[in-house]
Structure 1
């Protein structure tokens, strides 16, 4: 499948800009074709279970299966659940420790027969997608995406430009790491109400506000689907909105990275 495809519209033919993204997680590897003009998936996404152990070679082979499912032959973007600099993996929280020090671009490209691959942090990919197509659309300045799940992922976008590999989940807030204080997994484990949990989330947001003064927070993760139950309870000063793209954000952001080479100098 090519990166462009002539598509008839009401005013004649247009060239549909297509990209391809893969979102690698601790439990699943999912991919899809993306309309880069709208941020929408073209057709259904395809998902395979993350192999166990999730070594570089086994994950790369699974990525190749997902790509083959679509017959995609062009450049593609891949998210990784950790820090990646210049294509080299630096952390491995939810995958095999064998990733640390591996050149993710080379390993994945090798499994794909040499296709060009960009690799970026999963939260960074979601942030890029939300800023362009989702909850951050039409906003300027500094946007901070935070994903609340087992931990807290983060992305910082300034007027469309990504500051890669922020790790706000590991900020110390009142003597405790942010994600140990306010991840949604903490709420579940302790049986907290939304009211109790948002007190901790507020502390984390205020700590970030005091450090970089963002213009907008976007909150994602599964708990964002019930944003109406907790976002209004927050007491920080910056506006907070729920993520809009949900499960497709990583795929869309990955496809964007391959299309624009947004991570060319800091993958």
Structure 2
């Protein structure tokens, strides 16, 4: 594949589902139907790899002719996963990029799921051209975050794990979309939890923009207007496909010869 290629495959591994599609990187849009399979119970490495293979087989992109990016819900440094909030503890300290490359028989680019969603919004979406600090949050099984400053990513922020003093739970246990479903909250009830979370982020970091992604962002009109913030807050342009688009964008940058070990370098390349 040459540096002039304009298509890549993005696979987004989440706590409940694994999604993938072929992406047009000129426009940041999906060229295929989005394929989704359930994340295997327990989310052990071998089982997740098997599920990723099903996604690629369904997309008919099992060979190495098209660059492949994989997004994963963990801290990712130098190809290793260093956390495991919504997957098996086996992933902690695990050489995940090498594992997927060997299992799939091809080179890939591997990065944190919220970070790649941030790349999608930087390159094609709500963060494009925004100066200062943008905080993207993905509301799903957990809360993923990406810090975007003047068009560059500060990788591996984990602001979904801010602790709630005296409550014994972190932010995502209290305010993720899964918490809304678990506690059978209405949108107004859930918005009160989100108000605490975004107000806390606003106080700590003084951002210029919040972007909200994840599957629930398609219902943004039911909860974002209920929040009272000084910072503008908008839904992600790519909604729940941002991880797919961003992973594909980073895969193409890696295929063009950019160093794959550091996500920040890839982001700089893909957002120029």
TM-score by length of 1: 0.85
Could you tell me how far 1:129 is from its partner in structure 2? 0.9
SS of alignment partner, residue 247 of structure 2: helix
Choose from 249, 252, 262 the match for 1:265. Answer: 262
| Cα distance change on mapping 1:98 and 1:186 into 2, 3 Å | closer
Q: Deviations over 1:176-197 (max 9, x none)?
A: 4222332233333444443333
1:75 aligned residue:
67
> How does 1:11-30 map onto structure 2 within 5 Å?
17-30=6-19
1:153 aligned residue:
144
Choose from 185, 202, 206 the match for 1:209. Answer: 202
* Structure 2: distance between partners of 1:63 and 1:187: 28
Choose from 212, 222, 235 the match for 1:229. Answer: 222
Question: Is the 8 Å Cα contact of residues 3 and 18 (structure 1) preserved in structure 2?
Answer: no
Could you tell me how far 1:252 is from its partner in structure 2? 0.7
* Structure 1: distance between partners of 2:6 and 2:184: 46
> How does 1:149-228 map onto structure 2 within 5 Å?
149-176=140-167, 177-228=170-221
* Structure 2: distance between partners of 1:172 and 1:49: 29
* Structure 2: distance between partners of 1:40 and 1:174: 41
| Cα distance change on mapping 1:56 and 1:218 into 2, 3 Å | same
Q: Deviations over 1:94-115 (max 9, x none)?
A: 32222222101110000122x2
* Structure 1: distance between partners of 2:53 and 2:173: 35
2:268 aligned residue:
none
2:82 aligned residue:
90
Question: Is the 8 Å Cα contact of residues 30 and 66 (structure 1) preserved in structure 2?
Answer: yes
| Cα distance change on mapping 1:48 and 1:201 into 2, 3 Å | closer
* Structure 2: distance between partners of 1:61 and 1:194: 36
Question: Is the 8 Å Cα contact of residues 11 and 21 (structure 2) preserved in structure 1?
Answer: yes
Question: Is the 8 Å Cα contact of residues 57 and 107 (structure 1) preserved in structure 2?
Answer: no
* Structure 2: distance between partners of 1:71 and 1:33: 12
Of Structure 1 and Structure 2, the greater strand share is in: 1
2:55 aligned residue:
66
* Structure 1: distance between partners of 2:21 and 2:195: 35
RMSD of aligned Cα (Å) = 2.4
* Structure 2: distance between partners of 1:31 and 1:196: 32
1:9 aligned residue:
none
Could you tell me how far 1:199 is from its partner in structure 2? 2.7
Structure 1 gaps of 5+ residues are 5-14
